[in-house]
Amino acid sequence: MERLDNKSVLLTAAGQGIGRAAAELFIREGARVVATDLHPELLEGLECQKRALDVTDRSAIEQVVYEEGPFDVLFNCAGYVHHGTLMDCREEDWDFSFNLNVRSMFWTMRAVLPSMLERRQGSIINMSSVASSIKGVPQRFLYSATKAAVIGMTKSVAADYVQMGIRCNAVYPGTVDTPSWRARVAAQSRQEGVPEDRVREAFIRRQPMGRVGQPEEIAYLVLYLASDESRFTTGAVYVIDGGWSM
Ligand code: NAD
Rounded to whole angstroms, the Cα distance separating 87 from 85 reads: 5
How would you class 99 by CB atoms within 10 Å of its CB: exposed for 0-12, middle for 13-18, buried for 19 or more? middle
What pLDDT sits at residue 192?
92
Angle in degrees, CA 84, 86, 89, rounded to 5 = 65
DSSP per-residue string spanning 165-183: TEEEEEEEE--B--HHHHH
Catalytic residue among 143, 161, 172, 238: 143
**Which numbered atom of ligand 1 lies nearest the CA of 56?**
18
Q: Is pLDDT of 6 > 90? A: no
What pLDDT sits at residue 2?
73
In the sheet with 49-52, reading across from the earlier edge strand, the strands are: 49-52, 32-37, 8-11, 73-76, 122-127, 166-173, 237-240
Q: Is pLDDT of 208 > 80? A: yes
For 83-99, write each residue's pLDDT tens digit. Answer: 999 999 999 999 999 99
What pLDDT sits at residue 32?
97
| Percentage, residues of the chain above pLDDT 90 | 98
What pLDDT sits at residue 5?
86
From residue 18, alpha-carbon distances to 67, 171, 225 in Å are 25, 11, 15
For 151-183, write each residue's pLDDT tens digit. Answer: 999 999 999 999 999 999 999 999 999 999 999
Residue 135: what are its φ and ψ, rounded to 5°?
A: -150, 135
Q: What is the DSSP letter of 9?
A: E
For 102-124, write each residue's pLDDT tens digit. Answer: 999 999 999 999 999 999 999 99
For 18-30, write each residue's pLDDT tens digit. Answer: 999 999 999 999 9
What pLDDT sits at residue 59?
98
Q: How confident is the model at residue 40 (pLDDT cuts 50, 70, 90)?
A: very high
Rounded to whole angstroms, the Cα distance separating 246 from 243 reads: 5
- φ/ψ region of 189 (left if φ > 0, alpha if ψ in -120 to 50, else beta) reads alpha
For 186-199, write each residue's pLDDT tens digit. Answer: 999 999 999 999 99
What pLDDT sits at residue 3?
83
From residue 94, alpha-carbon distances to 5, 67, 80, 152 in Å are 40, 32, 11, 18
How many whole angstroms from 233 Cα to the centroid of ligand 1?
Answer: 25
CB-CB contact of 24 with 18 (8 Å): no
CB-CB contact of 158 with 169 (8 Å): yes
What pLDDT sits at residue 92?
98
**Which numbered atom of ligand 1 lies nearest the CA of 14?**
9
For 228-246, write each residue's pLDDT tens digit. Answer: 999 999 999 899 999 999 9
Choosing from 46, 55, 58, 129 the residue with most ligand 1 atoms within 8 A of its CB, the one to mutate for a pocket test is 129
Query: What is the pLDDT of the chain when averaged over all its residues?
Result: 97
How many whole angstroms from 15 Cα to the centroid of ligand 1?
Answer: 9
Q: Is 172 a catalytic residue?
A: no
